[in-house]
Amino acid sequence: MTNNTIQPVFSSETLSEWLTHLEKLHPNAIELGLTRITEVGKRLNLIHFDAKVITVAGTNGKGTTCAYLEKILIDAGFKVGVYSSPHIHRYNERLRINLKELDDKAHCEAFAIIEQARLDISLSYFEYATLACLYLLQQQHCDYILLEVGLGGRLDATNMVESDLSVVTTIGIDHIDWLGSDREVIGFEKAGVFRSHKPAICGELDAPVSILKHAASISADLKLAGKDFNFSVIDDKNWSWHGQKELSPIKQTLMPMQNASTAIAVIETLAIDIAPQQLIKSVETASLGGRLQALSGYPCDFYIDVAHNPQSAQYLATQLQRLKADKGEDCKVHAVVGMLSDKDMSATLAETNLFISDYSFVDLNCFRGASSALLLEAYQHSQNYNNVTNNIVSNTTSNINNDTTSNINNRHNVTCYKNVQSAVDQVVKSAAASDIIIVFGSFHTVSDILTNWQG
């Protein structure tokens, strides 16, 4: 959509005022398509970069794959810029140069450049932010640039940039209003980041045929997980990677081995000369905020995770199983959950039900945020996924917004709260030292915790 009226040039020296301006510029929070952003990108020469550009798409695992690559490349002595979204706590998190954020002043200056260059073109928040971060990356003269796709791939704003290698991490069902509910259709959209006659990596172990067909149609040099590279578990502590060479043993961490495997495949494909033991050490020490991130200052083990769809919840469940086994039979897992209303809440909760002792559902007070009542309804439906008969006590749901209201069935204790912090405060009081608290369901949920965390 193009606004035919010339926009007045906005100017500010504060990041908060710029972000408010961005939110008001475009009528739609999300508008896929490359026409508008590419026009502005060409004006600022943001299509081609001197650095090696790696674009990473996928339903889940984009952030951790970028984090693995980032750590590997930095440890090898390269200057690395990463653009990712959404941010969890601060806008500045969206851009990292060798693991460091740029200050507010740099972002404000970049916004001013985009404001001047866009003229009468209306840009969405994500398009504007993408252009500004690309401008900053251009000024940083990096050796490698990692671009995390925001939504889909083919029509995502990041796909404006000509990349040297493209990655698809996993394919699951999410963002169905934009991408559909069919893995083949979603796979085609994600594969839209592939480039003709250039290397492409697919880390999905069950790759849709659409990915293979699209890669073949444009003569992309596609390498597939399970065929050209793979990983295998040695024991409950270690794993190994197999490509043209083998790396073993690699210590298991809380971040997915599958995404580490994909990152290593990228390094091998680009023929970057890194000693095996150095590569292993980088993989073992990589981390990313909000992905089973442990928070200190609580009386028991406390984790936050941005898992928000069935695929990511499935991985979270496997890690909770590991953590619970390490703690012993007395360990209970207390979950605080807040989700967006357009997510598949029932299927997501079905993945974690087996390893959760009790749920605290919270109202997520943001755009598209689900109420605790809606989460409770989704939880009831999730019981059907697990073949468990639901016995929620009657006459309590009318008071669902009262923090003290409990709803008990034959599997879990369920309590609803008006916000994340009130739920956490109550759960911390009741948890034993041997227990685990996990807060998950959305970037917004995790952000609410970090806002009040004094670690």
* CB-CB neighbours of 75 under 10 Å: 17
Q: CA distances (Å), 164 to each of 62, 334, 347, 452, in order?
A: 17, 44, 36, 41
Q: How far apart are the C-alpha atoms of 385 and 427, rounded to whole Å?
A: 26
One CATH from 3.40.1190.10, 1.10.10.10, 3.30.70.980, 3.40.50.261 for 15-285: 3.40.1190.10
What is the DSSP code string of 26-71?
Answer: -S-S----SHHHHHHHHHTT-S--SSEEEEEE-SS-HHHHHHHHHH
Structure tokens given for 28: 């739609």
Angle made by CA atoms 92, 98, 103, in degrees to the nearest 5? 30
pLDDT at 23: 84
pLDDT at 260: 98
Instruction: Summarize the chain as % helix, strand, coil (round to 5).
Output: 40, 20, 40
pLDDT at 29: 54
Of all helices (H) and strands (E), which one includes residue 172?
Answer: none
Using CB atoms within 10 A of its CB, is residue 313 exposed (0-12), middle (13-18) or buried (19+)? buried
pLDDT at 406: 44
pLDDT at 174: 57
Going across the sheet that includes 230-233, the strands are 230-233, 238-242, 246-251
Angle between helices 276-285 and 257-269 (to 10 degrees): 140
Residues 233-244: b if buried by 16+ CB within 10 A, e if exposed: eeeeeebbbebe
Residue ranges of the chain assigned to CATH 3.90.190.20? 293-452
Q: How far apart are the C-alpha atoms of 92 and 107, rounded to whole Å?
A: 8
pLDDT at 120: 86
Q: CA distances (Å), 322 to each of 180, 254, 255, 259, 326, in order?
A: 33, 10, 13, 18, 6
Residue keyed to tokens 């908060």: 16
Residue segments in the chain with a per-residue pLDDT below the cut of 50: 1-6, 175, 178, 388-410
One CATH from 2.60.40.740, 3.40.50.300, 3.50.50.60, 3.90.190.20 for 293-452: 3.90.190.20
Residue ranges of the chain assigned to CATH 3.40.1190.10? 15-285
Contacts of 360 (CB under 8 A, 6+ apart): 334, 335, 336, 337, 414, 415, 416, 417, 423, 424, 426, 427
Q: How far apart are the C-alpha atoms of 233 and 310, rounded to whole Å?
A: 23
pLDDT at 390: 37
Q: How far apart are the C-alpha atoms of 343 and 180, rounded to whole Å?
A: 13
Please count the CA atoms within 13 angstroms of the CA of 1 that sit on its side-chain side.
13
pLDDT at 384: 78
Long-range residue pairs from 97-100, CB within 8 A, at least 24 positions apart, any chain: 97/140, 97/142, 98/74, 99/70, 99/74
Q: How far apart are the C-alpha atoms of 202 and 191, rounded to whole Å?
A: 9
